[in-house]
Structure 1
Amino acid sequence: MQILPVGPHDEIPIRDNHPVFLTDHPGDVIAIAPGYFAVRVTYEDITRLGHPTAPRDLGDKLVDASVSLLRNRERVRFDPSDGSELRYAEGGVAYGASGQPLFPRLDPAVIGIVELSGAQRLLLGMNAHSRKFFSLVAGYVSHGETLEDAFAREVMEETGRRVEAITYVASQPWPISGSLMVGMRGQTEDEEQQADTDGELAETLWVSSRDILDRRIPIAPPGSIAHDMILNWAREQQH
């Protein structure tokens, strides 16, 4: 049995560049995979075991699953169909009095590259609530939408631009919010915004690959799909 301790803010103890596992713990563990469990512990426990590290800095699938499923169990305690208390089985699947399985929630979100047609320029935006860096347009998928629909809608809502020729790029689990980030890519002919926006972005700007590679602007931090997609786009333009 391996038990991963997870701190109150999802910190993971790291020692010698690897997550620290326990073989026993009196707390309420949750089964993640065969032979693999996770448990919520105090920050003091984390610092005693190793160096506190954010899950996104590790890129470990079992760590991501542990954080996501622990958060899901803490948020969803009762069966929405009959109000009975849930008991959790492996993989975060829960059962109430009815015995019907309740699968852990996963919220798909799109995030992506918006390129200006005929020019090697990328559209970035700065979040109005956290003005620390520039990143890609992103948002949750709504019911009835394809991924392409959702990306086109988010680009219009946040930047006032139309986007087409949308393709899939990559994906990344984002356990802190229980999301799956789906990377997309599209083209726009709208250098200037064509409609009012929802105000989610404080600023948008077109950047070149050199702006990114020469670090002329702050971009999304390492460990995020936004960081990887922005850098990959900039490097691609150099060929």
Structure 2
Amino acid sequence: MSGYLCLDARNRYVLTGGAPLLVSRPHGGEAVRIDAETWAVRVGPGFIDHQAEEFGGEIADGLEFIGNPKLARAAAILRHRDNFRFDPADGTPLTYDEDGVVARGGATKLLFPRIDPAVIGIVELAGENQILLGRNVHHDFFSLIAGYVDPGESLEQAFAREVMEETGRRAEKIQYWGSQPWPPSGSLMIGFHATTTDIEATAPTDGELAEIIWAGPSDIAKLPLPSAGSIAHHMITDWLGRH
């Protein structure tokens, strides 16, 4: 894999022969280095559609890069470049190094791409073959409980808080499961497994979830779930595989 990878604002790119299309010269904005042989460039509206037609490829949805470290890195760094153009200390324009990753402003302090940690996880009802799922007010599928880490929190504290705020349940025996970068929002998703004895909510919720349910394997098979590339989908299917 060598050359220039083009992604639009929705992180769409072109696949040819089952691999991301790389071109011999950059298009659009400034190129950022992904590795020794690969650069990434943000392109304007319609460019990906034109590129797919020109090279006879297919357009890949932005979420499909999650399992590919190079593509995920490209999406994350380009997002950082899109959002951070000025030094937060003095407002001067940022100048990026030759790789297009690390920046320096008028305050001369090095600025690295921002990563926002978020927690997500399985909450299993103790002694039962059921997990807690919620449907966000803005979505039409059921997923796991998730949220961003607050300043001063440990990851475990953040997950326990999110479970309580969103579902009114107390999360116990919180254990690390795994992680996944989520470049569309600049996040790093950290997955956990926990248990609870609270069948019903023990406290008021924040209203973020329109519906909260306990679901077993037979229930989950009938529910709309998160996209296949997401850590939520991986965690749910992993739990199903063990039950």
Fold match (TM-score > 0.5): yes
Match of 1:228 in 2: 234
Residue 169 of structure 2 is aligned to residue 167 of structure 1: no
User: Cα gap change, 1:43/1:83 in structure 2, threshold over 3 Å: closer, same or farther?
Assistant: closer
Contact 2:125–2:197 (8 Å) recurs in 1 = yes
CA shift digits 1:119-162 (9 cap, x unpaired)? 111000000122x1100000000111111000000000000000
C-alpha distance in 2 between matches for 1:167 and 1:66: 30
Deviation per CA, 1:11-63: give whole Å up to 9, x if none: 01111111001121253212233332111113432123332212322321111
Task: Give the secondary-structure state (helix, strand or coil) at the position aligned to 1:157.
Answer: helix
Aligned to 1:195: 203
Q: Distance in 2 between matches of 1:171 and 1:106?
A: 13
Report the 3-state secondary structure (helix = DSSP H, G, I; strand = E; otherwise coil) of the residue aligned with 1:167.
strand
Number of the residue aligned with 2:192? 184
Contact 1:105 1:178 in 2 (8 A): yes
Instruction: Show the counterpart of 1:48.
Output: 50
Q: Secondary structure, in 3 states, of the residue corresponding to 1:134? A: coil
Amino acid at match of 1:53: A
Structure 2 unmatched runs, 5+: 53-57
How do residues 26-105 of structure 1 correspond to structure 2 at under 5 angstroms?
26-27=27-28, 28-50=30-52, 51-58=58-65, 59-89=67-97, 90=99, 92-105=101-114
Q: Secondary structure at the match of 1:217?
A: coil
Shift of 1:71: 1.1
Give distance in 2, aligned partners of 1:55 and 1:74.
16
How far 1:92 sits from its partner (Å)?
Answer: 1.8
Report Cα offsets for 1:79-122 as digits up to 9, x if no partner.
11121111222262111123321011100000000000111110
Q: Report the CA distance shift for 1:91/1:186 in structure 2 as closer, same or farther (over 3 A).
A: farther
Instruction: Tell me the C-alpha RMSD between the 2 structures.
Output: 1.4
Q: Tell me which residue corresponds to 1:108.
A: 117
Mapped to 2, the partners of 1:98 and 1:124 lie a distance apart of 46
Q: 1:154 to 1:181 in 2, by over 3 A?
A: same
Q: Which residue of 2 aligns with 1:9?
A: 10
Question: Contact 2:6/2:27 (CA < 8 Å) preserved in 1?
Answer: no
State the partner residue of 1:158.
Answer: 166
Residue 119 of structure 1 is aligned with which of 125, 128, 138? 128
Report which stretch shifted further, 197-206 or 3-12.
3-12
Q: Percent identity?
A: 46
CA distance in 1, matches of 2:192, 2:212: 18
One-letter amino acid matched to 1:109: A
- Compute the TM-score of the two structures, normalised by the length of structure 1: 0.93
Aligned length: 234
TM-score, with length taken from structure 2: 0.92
Aligned equivalents of 1:93, 1:202: Cα separation in 2: 41
Q: Deviations over 1:179-222 (max 9, x none)?
A: 0011111010000001100000000000111222xx21111120
**Letter paired with 1:217:** L
Distance in 2 between residues matched to 1:172 and 1:76, nearest whole Å: 23
Cα shift at 1:176? 0.3
Q: Secondary structure of 2:160's match?
A: helix
Q: Indicate how the Cα distance of structure 1 residues 163 and 97 shifts in structure 2: closer, same or farther if over 3 A, else same.
A: same
Q: Which segments of 5 or more consecutive residues in structure 1 lack a partner in the other structure? A: none
| Structure 1 SS opposite 2:23 | coil
Aligned structure 1 segments of 4 or more residues deviating by more than 3 angstroms:
none
